[in-house]
Amino acid sequence: MDKLIFNNLDSLHTLVLILIIVAMLYVLSKGADILVNEAVALSLHIGVPKVIIGATIVSLGTTLPEATVSVLAAINGNPDLALGNAIGSIIVDTGLILGLSALVGRLPVDRVVVSRQGKIQVWAVILLAVVSLPFLTSSEGNIRQWIGFLFLILLIIYIAKSIRWGKQANLDASESVPGEISAADNIKIEKKATIVVQLLKLAAGIFLIITSSKILIPSVEISAVRVGIPQSIIAATLIAFGTSLPELVTALTAVRKGHGELAIGNIVGADILNVLFVVGGAAAVTTEGLHVPSDFYKLQIPALLIIILTFRFFSKGKMAEISKKEGFILLFLYLIYLTLNYTWL
């Protein structure tokens, strides 16, 4: 499908491509508005904290591009791309997206929820690093197929635990002062709106974000080539950044609307899903497993661990918020990682 979209766009005039880019940016922003609004409305409707909605439903939707790219890459005999996409997406999500979000608005930390999902986030990344290590006499690692199935089982357990935590949060919310949440969030929920309708609207927002991203990225790529930007720069920026665009737009929109906890929940959930869902699914569909290049031990995996552990340290701070200074540090770590990709590889 991606190749078909690219070929059709490549046949268009540059002016038409520019118009498509403008249109897709508009659709992308509208999709993010719908997604954030419905996610917040749903959290208020069922009494579940926004950070849990972000870490489950929203992150499942925004992680679909990574999952699609990685699983198809593994099926088509390119498992290296599958693993690199997953690891790169976690680094982009936690370093670039959370860093930018903290700089443009408030990122409050729900200590209870981030403690639960945050621990899973850290242990999932550590587990990925361990299973990626070479064993015995091999100089390169391999994430075997049975490990992929194990990751998928852990994914089911994670979702079940999240649902249980959501029910507990719902129970706690029902014991709070009536109307307190609605006043704090300044959102009106129509009485006629059912949960099914809200879920359908939320799905529509996710669909608009993913579809517009699928058209926007190749349009920009083709236009960049035509104006003389080198392919190497395009590959290291647009392609690697493309699958994380839904998380970026959703996070920045959530922060702009004053729902920073939704942004944190989305990124924490997306990081977990990138390990258990994306890597697990990609490894499970290939009998040869996911090959881990030796270069990954020099940069990708160390950068992954450093950024995740840094975010974990910041999320447990006294202020219960990711400050602008901490956001700058996360962004700076990502920029160092991006620079080293050019200088080392």
Domain 50-175+230-344 has CATH 1.20.1420.30: yes
The pLDDT of residue 287 is 86
Q: Mean per-residue pLDDT for 153-174?
A: 76
Q: Mean per-residue pLDDT for 297-321?
A: 89
Indicate if the pLDDT at residue 312 is higher than 50. yes
**More confident call, 183 vs 130:** 130
Mean pLDDT of the chain: 78
The top-scoring range by mean pLDDT among 1-5, 76-80, 89-93, 230-234 is 89-93
Q: Give the separation between CA 17 and CA 19, rounded to whole angstroms.
A: 5
DSSP-derived 3-state class of residue 321: strand
The top-scoring range by mean pLDDT among 157-166, 286-295, 321-330 is 321-330
The crossing angle, in degrees rounded to 10, of helices 14-46 and 195-226 is: 160
pTM, two decimal places: 0.76
Indicate if the pLDDT at residue 191 is higher than 60. no
Indicate if the pLDDT at residue 97 is higher than 80. yes
Q: Mean per-residue pLDDT for 59-73?
A: 73
Give ∠ CA 111-114-118 in degrees, rounded to 5. Answer: 135
Q: Give the separation between CA 2 and CA 222, rounded to whole angstroms.
A: 13
The token pair that represents 192 in the structure block? 């006629």
**More confident call, 82 vs 118:** 118
The pLDDT of residue 85 is 75
The pLDDT of residue 160 is 83
DSSP-derived 3-state class of residue 142: strand
Which alpha helices (DSSP H) does the chain contain, by range? 2-10, 14-46, 50-53, 59-62, 64-75, 79-91, 98-104, 111-132, 145-174, 180-185, 195-226, 231-234, 240-242, 245-256, 260-273, 280-284, 300-315, 324-344
Percentage of the residues of the chain whose pLDDT score is greater than 70: 79
Contact 191, 309 (CB under 8 A): no
According to DSSP, the β-strands at 290-292 and 141-143 are antiparallel
How does pLDDT run across 275-301, given as a tens digit for each residue? Answer: 999 899 989 988 888 888 887 888 889
Q: Give the separation between CA 219 and CA 14, rounded to whole angstroms.
A: 9
DSSP result, 20-83? HHHHHHHHHHHHHHHHHHHHHHHHHHHT--HHHHIIIIIHHHHTHHHHHHHHHHHHTT-HHHHH
DSSP-derived 3-state class of residue 224: helix
Q: How does residue 240 score in pLDDT terms, banded at 50, 70 and 90?
A: low
Q: Give the separation between CA 123 and CA 74, rounded to whole angstroms.
A: 24
260, 219, 159: which is closest to 28 by C-alpha? 219
The token pair that represents 149 in the structure block? 């199935």
The pLDDT of residue 334 is 92
How does pLDDT run across 27-61, given as a tens digit for each residue? Answer: 877 777 787 777 777 776 766 666 677 777 777 77
Q: Give the separation between CA 51 and CA 254, rounded to whole angstroms.
A: 11
The pLDDT of residue 178 is 42
Q: Mean per-residue pLDDT for 125-139?
A: 81
Q: How does residue 169 score in pLDDT terms, banded at 50, 70 and 90?
A: low
